[in-house]
Amino acid sequence: MNTRVAGATVAVAIAVTLSVSAGASASAQQQAAGDQATVSVLHAVPGLTVDVYAGDKELIPDFKPGTLTDPMKLDAGSYDIKIFKEGEGPDGSPAIEKKVDVPAGANATLVAHLTADGKPALDAFVNDVSKIPAGKARLTVRHVAAAPAVDVRANGKAVFKGLENPKEAKGEVAAGTVSADVVLAGTDTVAIGPAKLNLAEGTNTVVYAWGSADDKNLQLKVQSLTGMHSAPSGVPAGETGAAAAHNEGLPLGALSLGAVSALSAAGLFLRLRRTAR
């Protein structure tokens, strides 16, 4: 599992955020959290280091594949963004360009990735941060790879079937450790994994399948969302992961294919530019 984070990129993002915060007015700093969104950004286009621009202003240079930023707060609103291959902006043709609305109160991960046929794209997923029953964890799988439909297995059993790019599937399970892998839909041909996942109580563990099947660089990226504990009540003992799925109100195998939201990376970066003014 690739967990490498481009430290320089994150440092740039943090520096920009601190600069913006320092220059913001007191009234802006006191804005209610309900009028903002919480946003993380994942760069999941293999082999493509990019520069991020808002208009003609470069905001994040050298944004490298496999980087997942820390969550950031931004105001709700409409934004746009241009993403260029490294060194080609701002006068060249952007590899990705998009304008979207960012709704208030959303917790989302914005993903630059490949479509099923290998074209760069921007999509975003609203993260489910609703309460989780005591003793349980939430598992979310997102297909953002240049690859056909896949099945996701936990401890050798297919639990999410026929997942297509750019869809997601999720379910609640007993907290514990599972061995997960990704296979081509309807087969036992392993495309990614196996990898151990620690599904901690009260967390949403989000697993991204990204990369390119043709280029043989498919990988997993894991994001952990915390703070969704419920009060203890009748927590079962001795059950972990998929083995307990048949005893849950929502079985692990019951798919919940989430619609991809209308968010994009535009919201994060152009918001920083607007606030800085």
Q: How far apart, in whole angstroms, are the C-alpha atoms of residue 238 and residue 179?
A: 17
- Domain membership of residue 124 (yes or no) is no
- Using CA atoms, how far residue 80 sits from 14, 248, 266, 271, in Å, is 20, 42, 4, 9
Q: How far apart, in whole angstroms, are the C-alpha atoms of residue 203 and residue 137?
A: 5
| Domain range enclosing 200 | 136-247
269 and 201 in a single domain? The answer is no
58 and 145 in a single domain? The answer is no
| CB 248, CB 235: distance < 8 Å | no
Q: How far apart, in whole angstroms, are the C-alpha atoms of residue 127 and residue 30?
A: 25
- Please report which residue ranges of the chain form alpha helices under DSSP H: 7-23, 26-29, 266-276
- Domain membership of residue 83 (yes or no) is yes
Q: Which amino acid is at 219?
A: Q
What pLDDT was estimated at residue 132? 97
93 and 153 in a single domain? The answer is no
- Domain membership of residue 128 (yes or no) is no
242 and 266 in a single domain? The answer is no
**Ramachandran bin of 19, using left for φ above 0, alpha for ψ from -120 to 50, beta for the remaining angles:** alpha
What pLDDT was estimated at residue 44? 96
62 and 151 in a single domain? The answer is no
155 and 81 in a single domain? The answer is no
Q: Which amino acid is at 192?
A: I
Q: What is the pTM of this model?
A: 0.72
| CB 171, CB 254: distance < 8 Å | yes
172 and 230 in a single domain? The answer is yes
Mean pLDDT by 10 residues, the chain (277 residues): 36 33 35 72 92 76 91 78 88 84 85 94 91 96 98 94 98 94 96 96 97 96 94 45 28 30 38 39
- Domain membership of residue 116 (yes or no) is no
197 and 269 in a single domain? The answer is no
95 and 16 in a single domain? The answer is yes
Q: State the total domains in the chain.
A: 2
| CB 50, CB 63: distance < 8 Å | yes
Please, what is the angle between helix 7-23 and helix 266-276, to 10°?
Answer: 40
What pLDDT was estimated at residue 103? 84
Phi/psi at 233 (nearest 5 deg)? -165, 105
46 and 149 in a single domain? The answer is no
23 and 50 in a single domain? The answer is yes
- Residues written for the chain: 277
60 - beta bridge partners?
A: 52
102 and 164 in a single domain? The answer is no
Q: How far apart, in whole angstroms, are the C-alpha atoms of residue 7 and residue 50?
A: 15
- Domain membership of residue 60 (yes or no) is yes
- Domain membership of residue 256 (yes or no) is no
Nearest to 206 by CA among 45, 40, 64, 49: 40
